[in-house]
Amino acid sequence: MSEARPTLRVAMVGHGFMGAAHSQAFRVAPRFFDLPFEPVMSTIVGRNVEATTAAAEKWGWASTASDWRDVIADPDIDLVDICSPGSTHVEIAVAALEAGKHVLCEKPLGNTVEEAETMARAAAAAAERGVFAMVGFTYRRVPAITFARDLVASGRLGEIRQVRAQYLQDWLVDEEGPMTWRLDKAKAGSGALGDIGAHAIDAVQFITGQTLDAVSGILHTFVTERPLLDESVAQTSLGGAASSERGQVTVDDAALFTAKLSGGALGSFEATRFATGRKNAFRIEISGSEGALAFDLERENELEFYDATAPATELGFKRILVTEPEHPYFAAWWPTGHTIGYEHGFSHQLVDLVGAIAAGTQPTPSFAEGLQVQRVLDAVERSSNAGSAWITTAATTAATTTSATHEGATA
């Protein structure tokens, strides 16, 4: 009989959409991947006792708490997973790191650059004591996106010249759809820009190895007020029952911006929750001097690749089915051709986080990388306020890495 693995006792703050996705990862990842620590789903935290208890029973958390300070003070907790609204991130993350807890924090890192800077400083100080923090840009862990990064890093596309990224959703098209915390700037920080645009920014920087150094953009809110939620009816993180009262929408519905990348490439970005008919269409295309690639989350097990060095008679985009055991992360899952889905990126995120903690190395994306994305979000907003003027992002040198490796790529 093999020896029991050391445990990593986890407390998760928040139990909505992201809480469910993270819970599934804690349940599944240890059963497919040979993790150096066994994650223990110790405590789930939420203000609504009834809803928190229901989430604990559904997902398998051992206990509940109504105040995140309780798990920070608990000496048995090793990792705090923050899945609550952006306005709560800075206080919880800093307190957890100072208490010696590792931290996984959902994106975007904070609601402002100042909050993200505070978190990055706390993470840097904690790392010197062997306590680590990671921000949850989960799409890095989609095997096709990780493989795209490997192709670029190995030089298959040559010099990267242009990038196009779109993240299109339509869940706010109905102007009578009720207010949620995601439409309140005080809680969410921004709208489509930070909610889904942040994913596009991070994924492009991850794939290309370049940072967005300057941006010119425009933000727009199509529906400026909506019905308030009826607090007497159970809610979800994305919506719920509406009351007769109305509230002000204080975030953007759509964001469009162009960018200058550190390696000389130009980029165009779009993030909207008003793309009628598009449910979760995350699309990236990278064009280089020797090739190109394209990814679409609605076909997330595929990558399109164009080899410009091939003979003229063989030119054209080819479809790569990214399900081979040699592809990132796939050796732990199913036989070739048996696809995986949205939830699996969260398992891969956990694999990389636990592996880095066990090795005593900084997991990526770090809070420094989260801060750099926050600076881009801030620059886009300032550009929009200044009539789409070009604004530099003041990116840090630690914002991205250039290595073609990826942790946890195999079981």
> What CATH number is attached to the domain comprising 63?
3.40.50.720
Measure the CA–CA gap between 105 and 339, rounded to whole angstroms. 28
Q: Which of 87, 105, 138 is the last residue of a domain?
A: 138
Smallest CA-to-CA distance from 102 within 121, 77, 85, 71 is with 77
Residues 162 and 258 grouped into a single domain: yes
Domain containing 199 equals 140-392
Residues 29 and 161 grouped into a single domain: no
Contact 33, 48 (CB under 8 A): no
Measure the CA–CA gap between 379 and 375, rounded to whole angstroms. 6
Three-class DSSP category at 40: strand
Smallest CA-to-CA distance from 59 within 74, 44, 81 is with 44
Residue 355, in any domain of the structure: yes
- Residues recorded for the chain: 411
Residues 267 and 323 grouped into a single domain: yes
- For residue 249, the model assigns a pLDDT of 97
Task: Return the beta strands (E) in 150-290 as ranges.
Answer: 160-168, 212-220, 225-229, 242-248, 254-261, 266-272, 281-288
Residue 400, in any domain of the structure: no
Residues 129 and 224 grouped into a single domain: no
Residues 129 and 155 grouped into a single domain: no
Residues 306 and 211 grouped into a single domain: yes
Three-class DSSP category at 50: helix
What are the distances in angstroms from CA 37 to CA 106, 357, 409? 21, 9, 17
Q: What is the pLDDT of residues 159-171, one digit of tens each?
A: 999 999 999 999 9
pTM: 0.92
Q: Which helix or strand (DSSP H or E) is residue 44 part of?
A: strand 38-45
Residues 268 and 388 grouped into a single domain: yes
Residue 1, in any domain of the structure: no
Residues 32 and 155 grouped into a single domain: no
Residue 365, in any domain of the structure: yes
- For residue 394, the model assigns a pLDDT of 78
Contact 133, 116 (CB under 8 A): no
Q: Is residue 264 packed enough to be buried (19+ CB in 10 Å), middle (13-18) or exposed (0-12)?
A: exposed
Residues 92 and 162 grouped into a single domain: no
Tell me if the bond preceding 365 is cis, omega within 30° of 0: yes
Q: How many domains does the chain have?
A: 2
Residue 399, in any domain of the structure: no
Q: Which of 104, 138, 172 is the last residue of a domain?
A: 138
Residue 409, in any domain of the structure: no
- For residue 5, the model assigns a pLDDT of 87
- For residue 17, the model assigns a pLDDT of 94
Dihedral in degrees, nearest 10, Cα atoms 84, 88, 93, 99: -110
Contact 346, 370 (CB under 8 A): no
Residue 404, in any domain of the structure: no
Residue 350, in any domain of the structure: yes
Measure the CA–CA gap between 76 and 101, rounded to whole angstroms. 10
Dihedral in degrees, nearest 10, Cα atoms 337, 343, 347, 353: 130
Residues 24 and 114 grouped into a single domain: yes
Residues 104 and 242 grouped into a single domain: no
Q: Which of 138, 168, 203 is the last residue of a domain?
A: 138
Residues 99 and 149 grouped into a single domain: no
pLDDT under 50: residue ranges of the chain: 1, 234-238, 395-411
- C-beta neighbour count of 210 within 10 angstroms: 24
Q: What is the pLDDT of residues 46-94, one digit of tens each?
A: 999 999 999 999 999 999 999 999 999 999 999 999 999 999 999 999 9
Instruction: Name the residue type at position 409.
Output: A
Measure the CA–CA gap between 222 and 369, rounded to whole angstroms. 31
Q: What is the pLDDT of residues 202-213, one digit of tens each?
A: 999 999 999 999
Q: What is the CATH number of the domain that holds 252?
A: 3.30.360.10
- For residue 235, the model assigns a pLDDT of 47
Kindly list the strands in the beta sheet with 38-45, ordered across the sheet, starting from the edge strand earlier in the chain: 63-65, 38-45, 7-13, 79-82, 102-106, 133-136
